[in-house]
Amino acid sequence: MNEKERDTERDEVLFELHKTLTNPTAKQILKWVKRYPQFADDIRAHAAIMKDWSAREAMPAVEPDAAMLSRGHSRVMEALYEARTASATAGNKVAALTFEQIMAASKSDVPTLSRKFGIKRGILAALVGGRMLPPVGDRLVEKLTECWAITVDTLYLACSEVALDRWFLLGSHHLFLATQHPRESTPWTAFPT
């Protein structure tokens, strides 16, 4: 029997174990081990996991409190910071430019661009503020990349950076507030406006 056939047979045995038993006793585990001695270690490991699952089902679910939500938010922000600094220091990826850096380099701002392109300020403000997610319209992309002398990839990286910042800074804050406010009846959306 080759290794692939052995793995397939082991998976079938373990699947059958999970189908027939939910909280196996020592006697049931021994019976399965005697029936399939070649998979004894796997059967014991899965039986232990099944016993843990059945023990946890009896326990009450943990309700998140303000401290737990705050710790979770802090850990997410720390992970984002670590990921950004690691990618910037690794040298394998150039750090994405922000819209503020791009506009400062080209000496432009939202009102000036709005008048220059003949479009409403709100559209550009939504793009720069992270409320407009890619894909951005082709004509706007063409005008912005030409005006700012940047590539389309740089523009989309700036879009994704500002959207991520908005999501993790504002989005998680809105989620935290929604869980704290007893009269909050509106469902929380993925990207707050």
In a domain, 166, yes or no: yes
In a domain, 192, yes or no: no
Q: State both tokens at 133.
A: 């997610």
Considering the domain architecture, whether residues 84 and 154 belong to the same structural domain is answered as yes
In contact, 161 and 98? CB cutoff 8 Å = yes
In a domain, 77, yes or no: yes
Cα distances from 58 to residues 54, 79, 129, 147, in angstroms, run 7, 33, 47, 63
Q: How many structural domains does the chain have?
A: 2
Considering the domain architecture, whether residues 50 and 93 belong to the same structural domain is answered as no
Considering the domain architecture, whether residues 75 and 51 belong to the same structural domain is answered as no
Considering the domain architecture, whether residues 25 and 74 belong to the same structural domain is answered as no
Considering the domain architecture, whether residues 70 and 46 belong to the same structural domain is answered as no
In contact, 21 and 50? CB cutoff 8 Å = yes
Considering the domain architecture, whether residues 26 and 86 belong to the same structural domain is answered as no
Considering the domain architecture, whether residues 173 and 109 belong to the same structural domain is answered as yes
In contact, 57 and 89? CB cutoff 8 Å = no
Give the domain extent around 30. 3-57
pLDDT tens per residue across span 87-144: 666 555 556 677 888 888 888 888 988 888 888 888 888 888 777 766 677 888 888 8
Considering the domain architecture, whether residues 95 and 175 belong to the same structural domain is answered as yes
Considering the domain architecture, whether residues 78 and 53 belong to the same structural domain is answered as no
- Classified as helix, coil or strand, 173 is helix
The whole model's pTM is what?
0.38
The Cα 96–Cα 101 span in angstroms is 10
Residues 6+ apart with CB under 8 A from 153: none
Provide the CA 172 distance to its chain's centre, in angstroms. Answer: 12
Considering the domain architecture, whether residues 124 and 149 belong to the same structural domain is answered as yes
In a domain, 162, yes or no: yes
Residue in 74, 148, 46 with CA at minimum distance from that of residue 107: 148
pLDDT tens per residue across span 27-80: 999 999 999 999 999 999 999 999 888 888 878 877 888 888 888 888 888 888
